[in-house]
C-alpha cells in the first residue's frame, strides 16, 4: 500500500517527503519495525492508519512507536481522535531521527494548506523552555506554541482546525514522560479536549533522544480513498451490507460498554478487590470492604453526581467515553494509581494530583505506581524524611488508616510529583530513572533493614537483567501480572477475571495480544473492537481491493516485535517483587474454580516456588503460540 512518509532530521533541521509502497506495510507499527534497529534504534515513528480522515468510526488515532526508555524494548502508545487532523497534512508517517547538538529544543510545525506541504522548525532555548514549564507545565508550552503559530493556520479570515503534541518537564527529567494532544478550533483550545499518549515514556524518548518537545500540525487536505469514505451514505451502505445495521447503530452497540466510562464501570466491577495501598493483597477481606466503602462515599458517589460526558473528538464516534469532573478528566487506571493505590480516597485530592501530574507531563499510571512504592518504603521504615527530602506526615498502614490520612498522603504525593518532574533532589532524580532502577539503587545505598527489601514494596513487570520495567495495567488478574504481553503496560493480554490453567492463560493471552496490536497498527480505537474484529477484512477488500488476513498479519507482526526485543535484551524476567508474587498467590488461593484447585493446594504447600512454576508454564504456553 502506498504511504507518504515525512522524514525529519532533528540535528540538521531538514525534512524530506517520500512514498513508501511495500505490501507488508499497512500500518504504523509495520513501518516502525521496518526502520528501527534494536541495537541502535535512532528514530521515533508517528503516524496514522489507512482509514484516518474517513467517516468510519474510531479510526483516527495517532500511534507513536519507538524504543521505550522504561522497558528498553520496542513500545507503542497512541492518542484518540488526534489522527483526524494529522491526516489532513497529507502525511501517513513521520520519522524523526537525529538529535540537536546544542542545548536548544525543537518543535516541527507541519501544515498542508491547499495542497502545499510545509515544515518549519521552531527552536526553543533551554532556559526559555524551563521558564515556560515552570508556569503551567506542558499546557504553558501548548499556549506558547499556539501564540507563535495560530496565524500560520489561518486561511483567509478563518482559522482551520489544528492540533499539537507537547511534552512537559517530566519528559526532560525522567523516563516517564507522556505527550498531550489538544484540539484547537477557531484559533482557541477546546476545553477538556486534551488526549494523552502515556505508556512507555515516549515523551521522554522524543525530548531526550531527539530534543523534540512538541509537534504542531494541521491542514485542509481531505484524504482520498478508492471508495469515498467521507460520504456517510456510502459508509452506511457498507455497514448495512455487513451487519444489517447503520454505522451509527453498529458503533453505539460496539462501544456501549464505555458509555459509562472506564472509571465508574471498572471500580464497580473490581469492588473490594481493586488495587489499594501499593497493590497489597494481604489486606484482610473485612478491612478491604471498609476501605472500599470509604472510596464509594468520598470518591465514586461524588464523581457520579457531577460527571460530565464528552467524546474524545473522534468525528464519527457517538460514544461519550471521556468523563469530566469539575473541569478535570478522570479515568480508572490513573485515578487508581494516584488514588486508593497511593492511600488517597477523596475525590478533590485525587483530582488535584491528577491535574498536577498532567501539568508536569507524567504518565500518571507509571508515576502513581511509583508513589505507592515510596509510601510503602516510608511506612516500613526503609527510608526516612531526610532520605526522601519531604518533611510531611503520612499514614500508609491500611490497618490504622483513617479518612483524614488521605490528605497527608496526598500532600506527600504532590510534593513528590514536583520534585521528580523537575529533578529537584538526588532522591527524585533516582526515581526518575524508573521504579526498578530505584529499588536496586536504594538497596545498594541503604541496604535491607531487617528482612524487607525495597523491591518488596513495588509492583512492576521487569525486562532483561538491567533496569527495564513498566507498571502493569491496574487490575489483579493473572494475565496482566504474569503475561503483560508483547507490548507491556497495556491491554495486550488476557485481562479477564477468569481463573484458568497456566496453559490456557498463555494461549488466551497470546490470542488477545494479536487482536490488541491490530488497533495500534491501524489507528483504531480499541473501544470499537466489537465491530472491527468482525468486519475489517471485508472493509479492506471493499475499499482497497486487498485481501488481507488480519489475524495472521498481526501475529507475524508480534513475532517481529519478539525478535526485536530479544536482540535488544528486552526479555520478560521472572516475577521479582513480593507484591506481584502475593497478588498471584492470593488470586489463585481465593479462587473457587476447579481449574485452579490443584494450584491453590500447591501454593499453600510450596508458596512462592509454586507461583514461579505457574508463571513459567503460562509464559511457555504464551511463547509457544508465536512459534511456527
Residue 451 has pLDDT above 80, yes or no: no
Range picked from 93-102, 241-250, 338-347 for highest mean pLDDT? 338-347
Q: Cell numbers of 110, please?
A: 507541519
Query: Do 2-219 and 261-454 come out as alike in CATH topology?
Result: no
Helix or strand (DSSP H, E) at 204? helix 202-204
What is the C-alpha to C-alpha distance for residues 334 and 326, in angstroms, rounded to an integer?
Answer: 17
Rounded to the nearest angstrom, the gap between the alpha carbon of residue 621 and the centroid of all alpha carbons in its chain is 26
Residue 270 has pLDDT above 70, yes or no: yes
- pLDDT at position 156: 92
Residue 432 has pLDDT above 70, yes or no: yes
How many degrees, rounded to 5, is the angle at CA 431 between CA 425 and CA 432? 90
Phi then psi for residue 498, to 5 deg, are: -125, 110
Helix or strand (DSSP H, E) at 274? none
Per DSSP bridges, beta strands 116-124 and 105-113 are antiparallel
What is the C-alpha to C-alpha distance for residues 602 and 610, in angstroms, rounded to an integer?
Answer: 6
Q: For 127-155, what is the mean pLDDT?
A: 96
Domain range 261-454, CATH class: mainly alpha
Q: Could you tell me how many residues make up the chain?
A: 628
3-state secondary structure of 318: coil
Q: For 494-517, what is the mean pLDDT?
A: 95
Q: Residue for cell digits 480522515?
A: 53
What is the C-alpha to C-alpha distance for residues 580 and 603, in angstroms, rounded to an integer?
Answer: 14
- 44 forms beta bridges with 96
Q: pLDDT confidence of 449, banded at 50, 70, 90?
A: low
Q: Cell numbers of 461, please?
A: 513487570
Residue 313 has pLDDT above 80, yes or no: no
High-pLDDT (> 90) share of the chain, %: 89
Q: 346, 85, 362: which is closest to 354 by C-alpha?
A: 362
Q: pLDDT confidence of 319, banded at 50, 70, 90?
A: confident
Q: Residue for cell digits 521504615?
A: 381
Task: Decide: 360 and 375 in contact? Cβ < 8 Å.
Answer: no
Residue 159 has pLDDT above 80, yes or no: yes
- DSSP structure class, residue 575: P
Phi then psi for residue 402, to 5 deg, are: -120, 160
Helix or strand (DSSP H, E) at 154? strand 154-155
What is the C-alpha to C-alpha distance for residues 203 and 120, in angstroms, rounded to an integer?
Answer: 20
Q: For 260-279, what is the mean pLDDT?
A: 90
Per DSSP bridges, beta strands 307-310 and 14-21 are unpaired
- 2 forms beta bridges with 21
Q: Residue for cell digits 508465536?
A: 626
Q: Cell numbers of 332, please?
A: 480508572
Residue 260 has pLDDT above 80, yes or no: no
Task: Decide: 38 and 567 in contact? Cβ < 8 Å.
Answer: yes
- pLDDT at position 540: 93
Residue 162 has pLDDT above 90, yes or no: yes
Query: For the chain, which residues make up each domain, given as ranges?
Result: 2-219, 261-454, 502-624
- pLDDT at position 29: 98
Radius of gyration of the chain measured on its C-alpha atoms: 24
Residue 52 has pLDDT above 90, yes or no: yes
Tally of CB atoms within 10 A around 116: 10
Q: State pLDDT tens for residues 25-42.
A: 999 999 999 999 998 899
- pLDDT at position 465: 92
Q: Where are the alpha helices (DSSP H) in 423-501?
A: 426-431, 435-446, 478-482
What is the C-alpha to C-alpha distance for residues 415 and 244, in angstroms, rounded to an integer?
Answer: 55
Architecture of the structural domain at 2-219: 4-Layer Sandwich (3.60)
Residue 8 has pLDDT above 80, yes or no: yes
What is the C-alpha to C-alpha distance for residues 298 and 351, in angstroms, rounded to an integer?
Answer: 12
Task: Decide: 292 and 272 in contact? Cβ < 8 Å.
Answer: yes
Q: Residue for cell digits 522524514?
A: 7
Q: pLDDT confidence of 257, banded at 50, 70, 90?
A: confident
Q: For 309-336, what is the mean pLDDT?
A: 85
High-pLDDT (> 70) share of the chain, %: 100
Burial of 254 (0-12, 13-18, 19+ CB in 10 A): buried
This prediction has a pTM of: 0.95
- pLDDT at position 468: 97
3-state secondary structure of 506: helix
CA–CA distances in Å: residue 123 to residues 127, 180, 406: 12, 19, 43
Q: State pLDDT tens for residues 462-490.
A: 999 999 999 999 999 999 999 999 999 99
What is the C-alpha to C-alpha distance for residues 70 and 204, in angstroms, rounded to an integer?
Answer: 9
Q: pLDDT confidence of 531, banded at 50, 70, 90?
A: very high
Residue 450 has pLDDT above 70, yes or no: no
To the nearest whole number, what is the mean pLDDT of the chain?
94
Q: Residue for cell digits 461519550?
A: 320
Q: State pLDDT tens for residues 383-427.
A: 999 999 999 999 999 999 999 999 999 999 999 999 999 999 999
Q: State pLDDT tens for residues 63-111.
A: 999 999 999 999 999 998 899 999 999 999 999 999 977 889 999 999 9
What is the C-alpha to C-alpha distance for residues 285 and 478, in angstroms, rounded to an integer?
Answer: 19
For the chain, the 3-state helix, strand and coil shares in percent, each to the nearest 5, are 50, 20, 35
Q: pLDDT confidence of 533, banded at 50, 70, 90?
A: very high
- DSSP structure class, residue 471: P
Amino acid at each position: 500500500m502506498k504511504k507518504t512518509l515525512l522524514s525529519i532530521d532533528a540535528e540538521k533541521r531538514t525534512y524530506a517527503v517520500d512514498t513508501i509502497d511495500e505490501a507488508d506495510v499497512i500500518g504504523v507499527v509495520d513501518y516502525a519495525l521496518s526502520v528501527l534497529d534494536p541495537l541502535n534504534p535512532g528514530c521515533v515513528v508517528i503516524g496514522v492508519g489507512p482509514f484516518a480522515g474517513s467517516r468510519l468510526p474510531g479510526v483516527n488515532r495517532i500511534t507513536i512507536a519507538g524504543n521505550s526508555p522504561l522497558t528498553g524494548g520496542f513500545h507503542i502508545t497512541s492518542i484518540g481522535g488526534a489522527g483526524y487532523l494529522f491526516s489532513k497534512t497529507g502525511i501517513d508517517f513521520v520519522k524523526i531521527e537525529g538529535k540537536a547538538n546544542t542545548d536548544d529544543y525543537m518543535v516541527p510545525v507541519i501544515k498542508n494548506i491547499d495542497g502545499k506541504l510545509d515544515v518549519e522548525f521552531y527552536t526553543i532555548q533551554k532556559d526559555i523552555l524551563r521558564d515556560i514549564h515552570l508556569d503551567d507545565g506542558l499546557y504553558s508550552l501548548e499556549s506558547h506554541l499556539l501564540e507563535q503559530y495560530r496565524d500560520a493556520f489561518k486561511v483567509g479570515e478563518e482559522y482551520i482546525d489544528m492540533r499539537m503534541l507537547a511534552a512537559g518537564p517530566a519528559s526532560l527529567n525522567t523516563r516517564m514522560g507522556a505527550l498531550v494532544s489538544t484540539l484547537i478550533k477557531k484559533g482557541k483550545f477546546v476545553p477538556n479536549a486534551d488526549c494523552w499518549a502515556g505508556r512507555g515514556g515516549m515523551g521522554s524518548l522524543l525530548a531526550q533522544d531527539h530534543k523534540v518537545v512538541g509537534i504542531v500540525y494541521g491542514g485542509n487536505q481531505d484524504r482520498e480513498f478508492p471508495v469515498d469514505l467521507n460520504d456517510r451514505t456510502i459508509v452506511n451502505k457498507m455497514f448495512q451490507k455487513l451487519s444489517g445495521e447503520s454505522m451509527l447503530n453498529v458503533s453505539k452497540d460496539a462501544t456501549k460498554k464505555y458509555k459509562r466510562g472506564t472509571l465508574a464501570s471498572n471500580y464497580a466491577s473490581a469492588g473490594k478487590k481493586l488495587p489499594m495501598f501499593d497493590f497489597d493483597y494481604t489486606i484482610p477481606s473485612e478491612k478491604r470492604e471498609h476501605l472500599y466503602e470509604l472510596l464509594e462515599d468520598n470518591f465514586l458517589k461524588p464523581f457520579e453526581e457531577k460527571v460530565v460526558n464528552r467524546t474524545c473528538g473522534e468525528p464519527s464516534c457517538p460514544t461519550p467515553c471521556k468523563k469530566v469532573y469539575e473541569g478535570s478528566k478522570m479515568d480508572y487506571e490513573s485515578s487508581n494509581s494516584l488514588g486508593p493505590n497511593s492511600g488517597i480516597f477523596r475525590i478533590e485530592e485525587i483530582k488535584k494530583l491528577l491535574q498536577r501530574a498532567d501539568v508536569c507531563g507524567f504518565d500518571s499510571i507509571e508515576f502513581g505506581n511509583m508513589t505507592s512504592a515510596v509510601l510503602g518504603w516510608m511506612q516500613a521504615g526503609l527510608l526516612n524524611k531526610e532520605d526522601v527530602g519531604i518533611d510531611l506526615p503520612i499514614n500508609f498502614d491500611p490497618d490504622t488508616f483513617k479518612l483524614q490520612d488521605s490528605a497527608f498522603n496526598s500532600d506527600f504525593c504532590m510534593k513528590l510529583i514536583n520534585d521528580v518532574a523537575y529533578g529537584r533532589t538526588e532522591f527524585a532524580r533516582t526515581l526518575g530513572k524508573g521504579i526498578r532502577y530505584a529499588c536496586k539503587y536504594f538497596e545498594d545505598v541503604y541496604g535491607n533493614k531487617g528482612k524487607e527489601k525495597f523491591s518488596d514494596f513495588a509492583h512492576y513487570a521487569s525486562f532483561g537483567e538491567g533496569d527495564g520495567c513498566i507498571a502493569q495495567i491496574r487490575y489483579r488478574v493473572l494475565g496482566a501480572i504474569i503475561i503483560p504481553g508483547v507490548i507491556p503496560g497495556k491491554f495486550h493480554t488476557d485481562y479477564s477475571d477468569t481463573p484458568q490453567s497456566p496453559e490456557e492463560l498463555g494461549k488466551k493471552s497470546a490470542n488477545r495480544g494479536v487482536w490488541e496490536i491490530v488497533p495500534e497498527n491501524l489507528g483504531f480505537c480499541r473501544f470499537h473492537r466489537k465491530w472491527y474484529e468482525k468486519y475489517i477484512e471485508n472493509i479492506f477488500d471493499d475499499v482497497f481491493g486487498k485481501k488481507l488476513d488480519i489475524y495472521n498479519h498481526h501475529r507475524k507482526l508480534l513475532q517481529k516485535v519478539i525478535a526485536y526485543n530479544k536482540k535488544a535484551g528486552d526479555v520478560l524476567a521472572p516475577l521479582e517483587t513480593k507484591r506481584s508474587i502475593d497478588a498471584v498467590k492470593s488470586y489463585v488461593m481465593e479462587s473457587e474454580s476447579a481449574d485452579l484447585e490443584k494450584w491453590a493446594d500447591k501454593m499453600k504447600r510450596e508458596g512462592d516456588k509454586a507461583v514461579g512454576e505457574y508463571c513459567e508454564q503460562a509464559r511457555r504456553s504464551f511463547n509457544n503460540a508465536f512459534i511456527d
